[in-house]
């Protein structure tokens, strides 16, 4: 019953999305106010019906209704409630439904906020409706989550144990709010191209910016969560492996970051008008390509649920129409747009331009590294893989150059800046960079060029942020957004550099009562006990940190077996001081109570995710300031005011 309800809700949602597309696009013309009202209510209706379908599927999962094939294949009665719920998006069909739910959420937000005036909003809703219709068709025809199973099995197949994890319960919704959020800026950009009056069209960047910010914040958090999950679940402490799936989330983030900066320039000084439009199109294209990579089974990973070629083909056609259509629209309308405002070579616009050049270049490196092996394979060439050394050679230097330039941006004025004054203001940051490099060289071993450079750059970034904060003291909170986000980048950089350069590792087989050492730690192994979890059996290792012969904190890594799924999983134990992680994974049983153990010390590892959080906080400050102040309707803000606000 509940399955049919969900199915019907999805069909209604499809119908409403088509109404939304037609009425929204009609509402873009001047007199059609009825069409605009229809568009607004159908956007709300779309959200209601997609939420209803999603609720129905969640209900089926929570009540373990195994007559729904999806539930039978991915759930189990013994699973804890939170993983029954997260199981909804722990599979292909459910995660696509979540995708559309977020899409509908953004459509409703566009309709509710009505930023950029009635006509621009209406056109944006129309485009959003088109995208929603395409994805609803995709779900109904290739990935229906409400397929029935007859006869109904007594028990479900369970969820992959790797996915039964609190980090993974949150990671996909977060990432989707980011990924799919870029659809809103895409729709606004397309709307800007569709609406013919220039005064309205040029307003799109201001209108879309809060939504871009929202998407960027969620994407930042989602990537950080995913990296944290990989770190503690996979058992070898890797926080980033340049895996195609990770890259699929990094590429939209890079473009969204570029868009965030160029849309700021478009809004504040009128520069980069056409470029921002292109970035908005590119950002959502990256999201779609990411979806294709992850959802089509093209690549081998924990995310590759599906192996159905029609799905990949469908998404490919969708990408072709969305990207091709938007670019065609761009080619047709962009020449008619006024050229962006001019600026001097030394100005904030130039720093934002360089920011964009470096971000897009780094994205290009990731793009080629990710897709080249797939294309080569599809063409029948050799099976190859592109690993971390490629990214170390391409992405890393480009990103380093970007980070060197970051501090100049906030120090320069719009239109025309003073480079010498900016340098003078940044001297203390340069000092901090020097001190950071000296400290690393003098105190820490092993010495390394890469780590020294990384800490100098981190000092430079954080120092510049502190200078920026000091300069703006007394201003309203949103004025500190950039400083916070840039400092977050420096914090993450320290974490990455520290973990990479100074990690230590011990691989040993220990018997109960024996001690082992790793880095500065001595650990005593107190044997293994058999424990019973809600839906697994675990070998739990007991380790005690010995501090000068006295026992201290304990660590209990587990090796779990999930009978329902018939799978093994390692549950690592991490002891953190906030600046250093001691990381333990229990390996295989070597008879007589002896176990293989893998121990790592990761200095500064927590900073990696702390930095991500600080970046997201910076985004939130900016968003908060923006939503609190009502925008003046369709009138360009007085330049003096904009200048003061920055």
Partner 1 sequence: MNSKKKRRLAFVAALLLAGAGVAGVIVYGLGQNTMYFRSPSDVAAKMVGEGVAFRLGGLVEQGSVQRGAGAEVRFRVTDGKSSVPADFHGVLPALFREGQGVVATGAMNASGTFVANEVLAKHDEKYMPPEVVDALKRSGRWQEGAQ
Among 20-28, 388-396, 447-455, 624-632, the segment contacting partner 1 (CB under 8 A): 388-396
Contact 572, 538 (CB under 8 A): no
Residue 477 contacts partner 1 per CB under 8 A: no
Interface residue with partner 1 among 128, 164, 370, 394 (CB under 8 A) is: 394
Residue whose CB is less far from partner 1, 411 or 570: 570
Counting residues that bind partner 1 (by CB under 8 A) gives 45
User: Omega before 446 cis (within 30°)?
Assistant: yes
Residue 263 near partner 1 by CB under 8 A: no
Q: Is 397 in the site for partner 1 (CB under 8 A)?
A: yes
Residue with Cβ nearer partner 1 (512 or 625): 512
Backbone angles phi, psi at 540, to 5 degrees: -105, 120
Residue 342, SS3 per DSSP: coil
Q: How far is the CB of 71 from partner 1 (least distance, A)?
A: 17
Contact 595, 587 (CB under 8 A): yes
**Closer by beta carbon to partner 1, 353 or else 464:** 353
Site membership for partner 1, residue 386 (CB under 8 A): yes
Q: Which of 81, 393, 450, 579 binds partner 1 (CB under 8 A)?
A: 393
Is 74 near partner 1 (CB under 8 A)? Answer: no
Task: Return the closest-CA partner of residue 253 out of 234, 272, 240.
Answer: 240
- For partner 1, the binding residue among 292, 523, 597, 617 (CB under 8 A) is 597
- Please give the residues from 337 up to 356 whose contact with partner 1 meets the rule CB under 8 A: 342
Q: Which of 467, 598, 608, 618 binds partner 1 (CB under 8 A)?
A: 598
> Which CA distances in Å does 541 have to 61, 237, 551, 571?
33, 18, 16, 10
Residue-wise burial string across 591-603, b where 16 or more C-beta atoms lie within 10 A, e elsewhere: eeebbebbbbbbb
Which residue in the set 1, 379, 382, 443 belongs to the binding site for partner 1 (CB under 8 A)? 382
DSSP classification of residue 46 = H
Minimum CB separation from partner 1 for residue 382, in Å? Answer: 6
> Could you say whether residue 501 binds partner 1 (CB under 8 A)?
no
CB 534 within 8 A of CB 78: yes
Residue 336 or 375 having the CB closest to partner 1: 375
Burial 197-211 (b: 16+ CB within 10 A, else e): eeebbbbbbbbbbbb
Instruction: State yes or no: residue 565 binds partner 1 (CB under 8 A).
Output: yes
Q: Does 596 bind partner 1 (CB under 8 A)?
A: yes
First to last CA, the chain: 56
User: Smaller CB distance to partner 1: residue 155 or 588?
Assistant: 588
> Among the candidate windows 4-12, 213-221, 448-456, 506-514, which touches partner 1 by CB under 8 A?
506-514
Closer CB to partner 1, 549 or 592, in the complex = 592
Euclidean distance between CA atoms 292 and 318, whole angstroms: 10
Cα separation, 157 vs 130, in Å, equals 36
Contact segment (CB under 8 A) with partner 1 among 164-172, 324-332, 530-538, 589-597 equals 589-597
Report CA-CA distances (Å) from 90 to 220, 327, 487: 21, 34, 34
113 binds partner 1 (CB under 8 A): no
* Cα 436 from Cα 88, distance rounded (Å): 47
Binding to partner 1 by residue 378, rule CB under 8 A?
no
Using CB under 8 A as the binding rule, whether residue 504 contacts partner 1 is answered as: no
> Is 585 a binder of partner 1 (CB under 8 A)?
yes
| Residue in 29, 533, 587, 625 binding partner 1, rule: CB under 8 A | 587
CB of 389 vs partner 1, minimal distance in Å = 4
Interface with partner 1 includes 590 (CB under 8 A)? yes
* Among 237, 364, 368, 233, CA closest to 302: 233
Q: Give the shortest CB-433-to-partner 1 separation in angstroms.
A: 25
How many Å apart are CA 600 and CA 33, to the nearest integer?
64
Q: Is 389 in the site for partner 1 (CB under 8 A)?
A: yes
Q: 561 - beta bridge partners? A: 537, 568
Distance of alpha carbon 39 from alpha carbon 73, whole angstroms: 38
Specify the stretch interacting with partner 1 by CB under 8 A; choose among 191-199, 203-211, 586-594, 629-637: 586-594
Q: Indicate which single residue of 552, 563, 566, 636 sits in contact with partner 1 (rule: CB under 8 A).
A: 566
In the range 287-326, which residues lie near partner 1 by CB under 8 A? 300-302
Stretch that binds partner 1, among 6-14, 140-148, 314-322, 564-572 (CB under 8 A): 564-572
CB of 570 to partner 1, least distance (A): 5
Give the integer Cα–Cα distance in Å for 206 and 218.
20
Is 114 in contact with 630 (CB distance < 8 Å)? no
Instruction: Give the total residue count for the chain.
Output: 646
A 10 A CB-CB count for 627 gives 15
Q: Give the list of residues 6+ apart from residue 588 with CB closer than 8 angstroms, or none.
A: 559, 595, 596
**Dihedral of alpha carbons 398, 401, 403, 406, sign:** negative
Question: What would the x/- binding string for partner 1 be over residues 353 to 372, using CB under 8 A?
Answer: ----x---x--xx--xx--x
Give the list of residues 6+ apart from residue 111 with CB closer than 8 angstroms, or none.
39, 40, 43, 44, 121, 125
Closest of 123, 260, 128 to residue 205, by C-alpha: 260
Applying CB under 8 A, among 155, 198, 547, 568 the residue interacting with partner 1 is 568
Q: β-strand 567-571 against 580-589: which pairing, if any?
A: unpaired
Nearest to 581 by CA among 599, 603, 612, 598: 603
Q: Which is nearer to partner 1, 130 or 366 (CB)?
A: 366
From 235, 290, 459, 495, residue interacting with partner 1 (rule: CB under 8 A): 235
Residue 531 as a binder of partner 1 (CB under 8 A): the answer is no
Name the DSSP class of 337. S
**Site for partner 1 contains 405 (CB under 8 A):** no
Residue of 335, 379, 383, 640 interacting with partner 1 (CB under 8 A)? 383
**Using CB under 8 A, which of 504, 508, 522, 643 touches partner 1?**
508
Cα distance between residue 646 and residue 644, in whole Å: 5
Q: Which two tokens stand for residue 297?
A: 């089974």
Q: How far is the CB of 350 from partner 1 (least distance, A)?
A: 10
Residue ranges binding partner 1 (CB under 8 A): 160, 162, 234-235, 300-302, 342, 357, 361, 364-365, 368-369, 372-373, 382-387, 389-390, 393-394, 397-398, 507-509, 559, 565-570, 585, 587-588, 590, 596-598
């Amino acid at each position: 019953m509940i399955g049919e309800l969900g199915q019907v809700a999805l069909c209604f949602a499809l119908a409403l999305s088509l109404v939304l597309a037609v009425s929204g696009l009609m509402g873009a013309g001047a007199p059609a106010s009825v069409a605009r009202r229809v568009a607004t209510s159908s956007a709300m209706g779309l959200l209601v019906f997609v939420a209803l379908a999603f609720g129905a599927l969640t209900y089926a999962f929570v009540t373990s209704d195994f007559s729904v094939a999806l539930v039978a294949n991915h759930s189990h009665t013994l699973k804890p409630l939170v993983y029954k719920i997260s199981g909804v998006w722990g599979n292909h069909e459910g995660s696509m439904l979540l995708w559309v739910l977020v899409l509908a959420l953004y459509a409703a937000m566009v309709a509710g906020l009505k930023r950029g005036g009635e006509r621009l909003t209406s056109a944006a809703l129309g485009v959003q409706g088109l995208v929603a219709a395409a994805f609803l068709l995709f779900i109904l025809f290739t990935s229906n989550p409400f397929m029935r199973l007859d006869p109904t099995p007594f028990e479900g197949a369970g969820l992959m144990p790797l996915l039964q994890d609190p980090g993974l319960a949150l990671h996909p919704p977060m990432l989707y709010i980011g990924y799919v959020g870029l659809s809103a800026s895409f729709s606004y950009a397309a709307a800007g191209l569709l609406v013919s009056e220039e005064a309205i069209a040029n307003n799109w960047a201001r209108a879309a910016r809060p939504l871009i910010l929202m998407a960027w914040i969620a994407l930042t958090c989602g990537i950080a969560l995913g990296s944290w999950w990989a770190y503690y679940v996979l058992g070898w402490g890797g926080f980033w492996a340049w895996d195609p799936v990770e890259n699929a989330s990094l590429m939209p983030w890079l473009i969204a970051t570029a868009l965030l900066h160029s849309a700021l320039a478009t809004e504040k000084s009128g520069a980069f008008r056409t470029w921002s439009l292109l970035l908005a199109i590119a950002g959502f294209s990256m999201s779609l390509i990411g979806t294709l990579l992850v959802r089509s089974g093209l690549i081998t990973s924990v995310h590759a649920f599906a192996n159905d070629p029609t799905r990949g083909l469908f998404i490919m056609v969708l990408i072709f129409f969305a990207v091709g259509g938007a670019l065609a629209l761009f080619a047709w309308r962009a020449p008619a747009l006024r050229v962006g405002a001019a600026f001097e070579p030394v100005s904030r616009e130039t720093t934002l331009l360089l920011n964009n050049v470096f971000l897009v270049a780094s994205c290009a490196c990731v793009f080629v590294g990710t897709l080249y092996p797939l294309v080569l394979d599809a063409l029948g060439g050799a099976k190859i893989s592109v690993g971390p050394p490629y990214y170390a050679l391409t992405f890393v230097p480009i990103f380093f150059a970007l980070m060197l330039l970051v501090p100049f941006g906030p120090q320069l004025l719009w239109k025309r800046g003073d480079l010498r004054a900016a340098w003078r203001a940044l001297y203390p940051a340069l000092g901090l960079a020097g001190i950071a490099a000296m400290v690393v060289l003098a105190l820490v071993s092993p010495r390394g060029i890469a780590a020294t450079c990384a800490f100098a750059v981190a000092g430079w970034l954080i120092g510049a942020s502190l200078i920026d904060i000091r300069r703006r003291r007394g201003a309203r909170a949103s004025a500190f957004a950039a400083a916070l986000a840039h400092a977050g980048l420096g914090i993450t950089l320290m974490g990455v550099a520290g973990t990479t350069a100074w990690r230590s590792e011990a691989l040993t087989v220990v018997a109960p009562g024996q001690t082992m050492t790793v880095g500065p730690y001595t650990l005593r192994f107190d044997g293994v006990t058999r424990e019973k979890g809600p839906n697994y059996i675990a070998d739990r290792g007991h380790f005690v940190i010995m501090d000068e012969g006295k026992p201290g904190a304990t660590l209990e890594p587990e090796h779990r077996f999930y009978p329902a799924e018939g799978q093994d999983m390692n549950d690592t134990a991490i002891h953190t001081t906030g600046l250093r992680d001691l990381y333990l994974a229990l390996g295989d049983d070597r008879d007589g109570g002896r176990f293989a153990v893998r121990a790592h010390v990761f200095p500064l590892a927590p900073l990696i995710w702390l930095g991500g959080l600080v970046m997201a906080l910076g985004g939130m400050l900016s968003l908060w300031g923006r939503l609190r102040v009502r925008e003046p309707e369709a009138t360009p803000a007085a330049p003096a005011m904009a200048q003061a606000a920055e």
